[in-house]
Amino acid sequence: MQHSIPRRKFLKTVGIGALAGTGVKWLGSTAEAQPPSAPSTEASKMPRLFSGCCAYSYNHALRKGTMNMEDFIHKAVELRVDGIDMTAYYLKSTDPEYLDGLRHLAYKNAMPFSGSACGVSMVQADPSKRAQSLTEIKKWVDVTDRLGASHLRVFAGELPPGATRQQGVDWTVETMKAATDYSGKKGIMLGLEDHNGVTQRADVCLEIMHRVNSPYAGINLDVTNFIPTPTQDVYAQIEACIPYATNTHIRDRFEYNQSPVDLDRVWKLFAQAGFKGYMSAEYEGPDSETGVPKLVAQIRTLCQKYSTV
């Protein structure tokens, strides 16, 4: 049986750690998350919002081979972003020499890696496939570590035929718990993206975070991927997940209906929550050469408007 708990009552009576092993179901709940306990200081409330760019913004050129990851690093310098997401799909290899070369090139250009990403799906009905997914995530944790980054983006994935959403959540929690046990030893965060499939609703993402219950688990918050529910529009879902946000992906239109995103409203939510991290362009339009700079310019302006740095 699912329980819907009024937000204020929930936050006053229940701590994050108390959720483990309870009968509270987050699917369909309107309760919002609070982050792990931290000192309430002025510094903790100060937003630090940095501009970023995902390699996926140049997906077409990287897929066609007209751009490589070295080119992307140089392009990021031209864009004047503060950091870049080294999406794993475009890496030429995972050989140490190649990864070391990218890390060195980024250092020479004062271009931090906001993180890396892999496309492994954790929603696997077969236990042996879940074990394989865990092995793959561990491999990408090692790649992230080699690059000198501290964040790896991961996905739950699409539900297999016949599976329920709750089963998908259970499988994701199982795999992510084990993955964070591994990544935590290297100081690497795993950011679960709200993406097509299991994690398109904030309540699902929050249930996973509470059940994984690791300081190395968070939400790679793409502000355009949520779908409205009867109790929360997309902005309410973004706000609910900000306490767990690791990195943030920015596009200018919502995925579910292609309506424009009120980016100023989004930035205000992050600033009010004292978020510290990257607001990274993930452009999906046809013309990256003109579209990415325009989106990055918006991001940079909003970071300057709402950040304390």
In this model, does residue 40 exceed pLDDT 70?
Answer: no
Neighbours of 178 (CB within 10 A): 17
Per-residue pLDDT at 19 = 38
Q: What is the pLDDT of residues 120-141, one digit of tens each?
A: 999 999 999 999 999 999 999 9
Q: Check if the beta carbon of residue 274 is closer than 8 Å to that of residue 243.
A: no
Q: What is the pLDDT of residues 77-122, one digit of tens each?
A: 999 999 999 998 899 999 999 999 999 999 999 999 999 999 999 9
Q: Check if the beta carbon of residue 149 is closer than 8 Å to that of residue 186.
A: no
Region of 7 on the Ramachandran plot (φ > 0 left; ψ -120 to 50 alpha; else beta): alpha
Return the DSSP state at 66.
S
In this model, does residue 23 exceed pLDDT 90?
Answer: no
* Amino acid identity, position 217: A
pLDDT tier, 246 (very low <50, low <70, confident <90, very high otherwise) = very high
* Dist. CA 230–CA 108, nearest whole Å: 50
CATH number of 48-306: 3.20.20.150
Q: How, if at all, do strands 48-54 and 217-222 pair?
A: unpaired
Find the radius of gyration of the CA atoms of the chain: 19
* Dist. CA 174–CA 193, nearest whole Å: 16
Global pTM? Answer: 0.85
Q: Check if the beta carbon of residue 97 is closer than 8 Å to that of residue 131.
A: no
Task: Give the CA angle between residues 87, 268, 116 to the nearest 5°.
Answer: 10
Q: What are phi and psi of 164, to 5 degrees?
A: -95, 160
Q: What is the mean pLDDT of residues 236-261?
A: 96
Find, among 262, 282, 277, 263, the residue nearest to 307 by Cα: 277
Find, among 61, 64, 86, 89, the residue nearest to 76 by Cα: 86
* Dist. CA 220–CA 247, nearest whole Å: 5
Tokens of 36: 């792990």
